Structure 1
Amino acid sequence: MFFANPKATRQPYPEALRTIMSVEKANESRQWLAQWSRLNASATPLYELPDLAAELGVAQILLKDESQRSVLGSFKALGAPIALVRLILRTFPEQRFLPRDLLEGKHADALAGFTVISATDGNHGRALAAAAQSIGCQCHIVLHANVSIEREEAIAAYGATIVRITGNYDESVEAAAALAAAHDWIVVSDTSYEGYEVIPRDVMQGYGTISAEVLEALQADAPVTHVFLQGGVGGLAAGIASYLWEQYGERRPVFVVVEPKQADCLYQSAVEGRAAKATGSVDSVMAGLACGETSPLAWRFLEPCVDFFMTIEDDEAVTAMRRLAAGSARDIPLVAGESGVAGLAGLMHVIAAQGVAADLGIDTDSRVLVVNTEGATAPGVYAELLGESAVVVQQRQEAWTTAVGEN
């Protein structure tokens, strides 16, 4: 399904939005994140995929690979630690903590009784648990019924206390809020709701790092014309799009948001003209995007700048995973998880659909940016979907890199 957003505008980044999220704050967050030992020191790669671009009939496809952001395996490593650091700075202003000292665990004794909690589909919870462990505070993570044991174990490995519920993601969000109220803990969520926006804002602000690195990598090159972004509750899309919008103003790229068909809350929000709920079962192989309710805060940014909303089937995501894993003579083989490929799967869908590419202004001159938001964060699921393990794909990547280096 496709929906052309009638409220998308071509104007400079509004001051009302800049007071909430800005390039300035995103860059400050990036400086703080650079001091966390669990993030890789260098920017994540921005790969060009010329063979895939030729297959799809566009000038260029650029893929920002967040699977290589850290040992945590996803872009979520940019959001949770920043939100937790900013939360602690606001909660204990008299202590005059420094972000670097917090992330190095220098105030672990003082924060041993401080407790945070969050619901998650996997990656946000893992990043929050890792940040809490580094800082030295307590962390509880609420998991819904569809979160795999593999993902649970990956979160628990960072010392978090796991709480299991029988419902879906949205019910896990409610459970986390109830536990926080009962125990005087603080929710560190990547989705907003009425009366709860400051922490989700900080999470989204961290994602601006992705946009900053893309712009630095492009330097004098012409800007991209289209950006395909994953949906979920909207935080990633808002964090990336707001940064690019502020930088380029009315010359911003065309933004396209992609969601699973059964978890179409952003699509429905565009149709209804307000933050809305999904109409499907929400259960999707794209676990990180299996969200039923739009973040109202994220929607404030997405409604005026996302040009098109679309949905894809689960099997389209698997097809995109296989294409990236296979690589080609000129395209490096890549490990991309089920949610990580949604943007690319959306682009492939658009090209295959009769006449849709033209509606989106995609042609042989288009330069398209997609973000691989995760690697094989659930290695067993990855291997089951592709019929080969992430280790095999990584070996193929190494062989490709060696061969290219020799030529």
Structure 2
Amino acid sequence: MAKQSSIKTPAMEYGRDGETPPAISNRRASRIPYPDEQKKIKDIERTEEERKWLSSWRLLNHSATPLWSLPKLAATLGIAQLRVKDESKRSPLASFKALGAPIALIRLILRLYPERSFEPAAILAGRYQDDLRALTVITATDGNHGRALAAAAQSSGCRCVIVLHARVSTEREQAIAAFGAEIVRVAGNYDASVKEAARLAATNGWHVVSDTSYSGYEDVPGDIMRGYGIISQEIIEQISDPAGQPFTFTHIFLQGGVGALPAGVLDYLWKFYGPRRPTSVIVEPRQADCLYQSAHLDRAAHASGAIDSIMAGLACGEASPLAWQVLRVSADYFMTVEDSDATTAMRQLAAGNGQDVPIVAGASGAAGLAGLQVACGNQPLRAMFGLNEHSHVLVINTEGDTAPSIYQTLVGESGQSVLARQSSRQSGHRPSDQACLPMAHG
């Protein structure tokens, strides 16, 4: 078992000396056993069920995503171990969103048509296309979620409308449109696109499939959030020892966004590990700090900045209230990073070094590592988070080069070139460095 740090330090206070600190502690985070044992059992079984539903979708790879070990970078950071769960390998869609959107679409269809007795796995196989042609789904997106929903809708046979705000690149728009989605453009930022998607749905009788919850809209965001528990389930399987005993890493650094990913991942880890769950740090762009502000105000809150970041998937102005309910009691710390920190992390992952395999990570995908690197280079943060030479840290690379031209500009090398170097070095890694487990179990 990884050794937990014994360092105890006072939490950084919000607004000390008139400045916003780079991180704050969540005094409401709980270390008690998961509060509802029956819900815990039901949700773990539900996650396994959903893995089976997705096991035959042609746009999803049918093995667990790699869990890379980066020993050289870990040594540089002064920690015992660093592992990267690489969601860029999840699907040709190149992001973790390939889990949430299709699961939410399946569950929405099952709720809308209970009398049809649809077989869940057969929905994404296109078996019910004639029945679903009249169904229209819509969402707002910064890119990855919309692309995943468009792909799932195309596979299922329903119509899909995607609302994009002004800052979404043409490259991301084209990637979504390639799956047959109809594109609507709006002025403003992500929050403006969320409002427009809700308006269009109400006007036309369409159905919103969004990971952002709001008053009266929680079922679908809840489905998406819980779907991300598949990532946690895979991680636990991949780090168990041969006797089946789970290894507990000490820390996990997770991207923020509206909160759906960290809420889904942390909720599952809490269900599984109980009070022994790892210390969690939520990482956001400084100018899109809605979860940081939520921790400060103890309610789902708005970001304090301009919500414009190269970490496009994290450029969210308002926290999801549903996700915040989970994070309020399961996330230990909230921190912000600069765009330059994300770029540095992207380049670090792409370079590889010695034993460390090169990894393709977009700006949002590299945010967790960016937070870890900032913390390890800042002694007060390092002490605050309890990071030391005994720490076993996990980060999740949530996306690959989903905008290839932007990736090449920021990294100075194409994603394809990095993957070629990854392939050439991969044979030198131990099998445990990139476990591949079936998506579904009998």
Cα RMSD of the aligned pairs, angstroms, is 1.4
Hey, what does 2:6 align to over in structure 1?
none
Select which of 177, 189, 198 maps to 2:210. 189
Select which of 272, 280, 297 maps to 1:255. 280
Select which of 114, 119, 122 maps to 2:135. 114
What code does the residue aligned with 2:425 have? W
Select which of 44, 58, 72 maps to 1:37. 58
Select which of 354, 358, 365 maps to 2:383. 358
Hey, what does 1:46 align to over in structure 2?
67
Select which of 107, 116, 130 maps to 1:95. 116
What code does the residue aligned with 1:342 have? A
| Residue 403 of structure 1, CA deviation | 5.6
| Residue 355 of structure 1, CA deviation | 2.4
Hey, what does 1:161 align to over in structure 2?
182
Write out per-residue CA displacement over residues 176-221 of structure 1, whole angstroms, 9 at most, x where no aligned residue.
0000011100000011011100000001111111001100101126
Please show how residues 231-270 of structure 1 align to structure 2 within 5 Å: 231-270=256-295
Select which of 216, 221, 229 maps to 2:254. 229
What code does the residue aligned with 2:351 have? A
| Residue 279 of structure 1, CA deviation | 0.4
| Partner Cα distance (2:52, 2:280) in 1 | 27
TM-score (structure 2 length as normaliser) = 0.90
| Residue 18 of structure 1, CA deviation | 3.4
**1:161 and 1:32, CA in 2 relative to 1: closer, same or farther beyond 3 A?**
same
Decide whether the 8 Å contact of 1:263 with 1:282 is kept in 2.
yes
Decide whether the 8 Å contact of 1:49 with 1:62 is kept in 2.
yes
Instruction: Count residues with an aligned counterpart.
Output: 405
| Partner Cα distance (1:99, 1:404) in 2 | 37
Q: Secondary structure at the match of 1:255?
A: strand
What code does the residue aligned with 1:189 have? S
Hey, what does 1:313 align to over in structure 2?
338
TM-score (structure 1 length as normaliser) = 0.97
Decide whether the 8 Å contact of 1:22 with 1:242 is kept in 2.
no
| Partner Cα distance (2:40, 2:184) in 1 | 36
Decide whether the 8 Å contact of 1:27 with 1:208 is kept in 2.
no
Hey, what does 2:302 align to over in structure 1?
277
| Partner Cα distance (2:121, 2:421) in 1 | 38
Select which of 45, 56, 63 maps to 1:24. 45
What code does the residue aligned with 1:248 have? Y
Q: Which runs of 5+ in 1 are unaligned?
A: none
Hey, what does 2:317 align to over in structure 1?
292
Deviates more, 1:18-27 or 1:380-389: 18-27
| Partner Cα distance (1:300, 1:16) in 2 | 18
Select which of 392, 398, 420 maps to 1:395. 420
Deviates more, 1:221-230 or 1:148-157: 221-230
What code does the residue aligned with 1:156 have? A
**1:262 and 1:20, CA in 2 relative to 1: closer, same or farther beyond 3 A?**
farther
Decide whether the 8 Å contact of 1:337 with 1:382 is kept in 2.
yes
Hey, what does 1:180 align to over in structure 2?
201
Seq. identity, %: 59
| Residue 263 of structure 1, CA deviation | 0.1
Hey, what does 1:57 align to over in structure 2?
78
Confirm whether residue 338 of structure 1 aligns to residue 363 of structure 2. yes
Write out per-residue CA displacement over residues 90-148 of structure 1, whole angstroms, 9 at most, x where no aligned residue.
10000000012111101101110100000000000000000000000000000000100
Confirm whether residue 199 of structure 1 aligns to residue 224 of structure 2. no
Hey, what does 2:165 align to over in structure 1?
144
| Residue 67 of structure 1, CA deviation | 0.1
Decide whether the 8 Å contact of 1:116 with 1:187 is kept in 2.
yes
**1:119 and 1:21, CA in 2 relative to 1: closer, same or farther beyond 3 A?**
farther
| Residue 22 of structure 1, CA deviation | 2.3
Decide whether the 8 Å contact of 1:29 with 1:205 is kept in 2.
no
Hey, what does 2:126 align to over in structure 1?
105
Decide whether the 8 Å contact of 1:3 with 1:308 is kept in 2.
yes
| Partner Cα distance (1:35, 1:43) in 2 | 14
What code does the residue aligned with 2:130 have? D
What code does the residue aligned with 2:399 have? E
| Partner Cα distance (1:60, 1:17) in 2 | 34
